[in-house]
Structure 1
Amino acid sequence: MKYLIAGLGNIGPEYELTRHNIGFLVLDFLAGKFDADFKSDRLAFKCEVKHKGRSFHLIKPTTYMNLSGKAVNYWMKQLKIPKENILVITDDVSLPFARLRMRAKGSSAGHNGLKDIEAATGGNNFARLKFGIGNDYPQGRQVDYVLSNFSKGEFAELETHIERAAEMILSFGTIGIGRTMSQFNS
C-alpha cells in the first residue's frame, strides 16, 4: 500500500517557520521520526518512510503554495497512487490555533494551495489534514498573518501538535480515514 502525503508550504528560509508552512513542518517532523532525509526531486523535496507494511511518500512541493497542484498531480501519476491514498496537510485560518481536523474531501475554503490541487487533480475528492493557525489578524491582513512566524507562545506548544498531526498521518495509512477521523477529530 502506497500513500502520497503532501505538506504544503513555501520554499526559502524567509518562509521556514511561518504559519503557512505548517505542512512542511509536520512532514519534517515525521521524516525525522524515521531518520529519513528529503532530497530535491521533480517539483518537490521528497522522501519515503515505511510504517506497518505501508509506504508513505512525503512531498514538500517546491512550486510555492499557489501551484502545489502541479507537484501533487505529478507525483500521484508518477507513483501510481490513487486519489483516496492522498493526504494534504495545510494551514487553516478558520480553525483555532493547533486544532487538527481531517476530512475525506471538501472545499478549498479559499486556500489557494488546495484550490490548485483540486484544479490539477480534477476535483476535491482527496483527504486533507487541516492544522488550525487561528485568525488573530485585522481585516484585510490575512496574507501578512499567514506569512508571519508563529508567536512565542504558539511556538512553545507547536511540537506537541505537530507530533499529533504526524500520528494522524500514520493512522490515515494504517487504519483508514474514517477511523482516524473518529479517533482524532475533536
Structure 2
Amino acid sequence: MKYLIVGLGNIGREYEHTRHNIGFDVVMAFVIKHGGQLVSDRYAYVAEIKWKGKIFVCICPTTYMNLSGKAVKYWMDKEKIDLQNMLVVVDDLALPLDKLRLRPGGSDAGHNGLKSIQESLGTSNYPKLRFGIGNNYPKGRQVDFVLGKWNKEEEILVKLKIDKSVEAIENFAAAGITDTMNKINNIVI
C-alpha cells in the first residue's frame, strides 16, 4: 500500500513555522519521527517513509501555496497513488485552535492551496486533515494573521496538535479514514 501525504505551505524563511505553513510542519514531524529526511525534488521536498508494510511518499510542494495542485498531480501520477490514499494537511481559519478535522472530501473553503489541488485533480473528493488555526485577528488583518508566527501561548497546544496529526496520518493508513475520523474529529486538544 502506498500513500501520498501532502503538507501545504510556502517555501522561504519568512514563511517557516507560520500558521499557513502548518501542513509543512506536520509532514516534517511525521518524516522525522520515522527517521526520514525531506530532499528537494521535482515541485516538492520529498521523503519516502516505510512503516508497518506501507509506503508513504511525503511531499511539501515548492510551487507556493497557490500552485500546490501542480506538485500533487505530478507526485500522484508518478507514484501511481489512488485518490483515497492521499491525505492533505492544511491550515483552517474556520476551526478553533484546539481542533483537528479529518474528512474524506469537501470544498476548498476558500483556501488557495486546496483550490489549486481541486483544479489539478478535477475533484474535491480526497481526504483532508484540517488543522484549526482559529480566527483571532482584527478586521482586515486576516493575511497578517495567517502568515504570522504562533504566539507563545499557542506554541504548546500547536506542538500537541502536530503530534496528534502525526498519529492521525499513521492511523489513516493503518485503520482507515472512518476509524481515524472517529478518533480525532471530536477531541478537544
TM-score w.r.t. structure 2 length?
0.96
RMSD after superposition: 0.8
- Structure 1 gap segments, 5+ residues each: none
Counterpart code for 2:10: N
- Structure 2 gap segments, 5+ residues each: none
Q: Percent identity?
A: 53
Counterpart code for 2:23: G
Is 2:179 aligned against 1:179? yes
CA distance in 2, matches of 1:80, 1:140: 42
Instruction: Give the aligned partner of residue 147 of structure 2.
Output: 147
Alignment of 1:119-130 (within 5 A): 119-130=119-130
Instruction: Give the aligned partner of residue 62 of structure 1.
Output: 62
Counterpart code for 1:160: L
User: By how many angstroms is 1:155 displaced?
Assistant: 1.2
Q: Which runs of 4+ in 1 moved over 3 A?
A: none
Instruction: Give the aligned partner of residue 22 of structure 2.
Output: 22
What secondary structure sits across from 2:109 in the alignment?
coil
TM-score w.r.t. structure 1 length?
0.98
Alignment of 1:1-186 (within 5 A): 1-186=1-186
Counterpart code for 2:82: P
CA distance in 2, matches of 1:35, 1:85: 22
CA distance in 2, matches of 1:164, 1:156: 13
Tell me how many residue pairs correspond in the alignment: 186
User: By how many angstroms is 1:156 displaced?
Assistant: 2.5
CA distance in 1, matches of 2:139, 2:88: 27
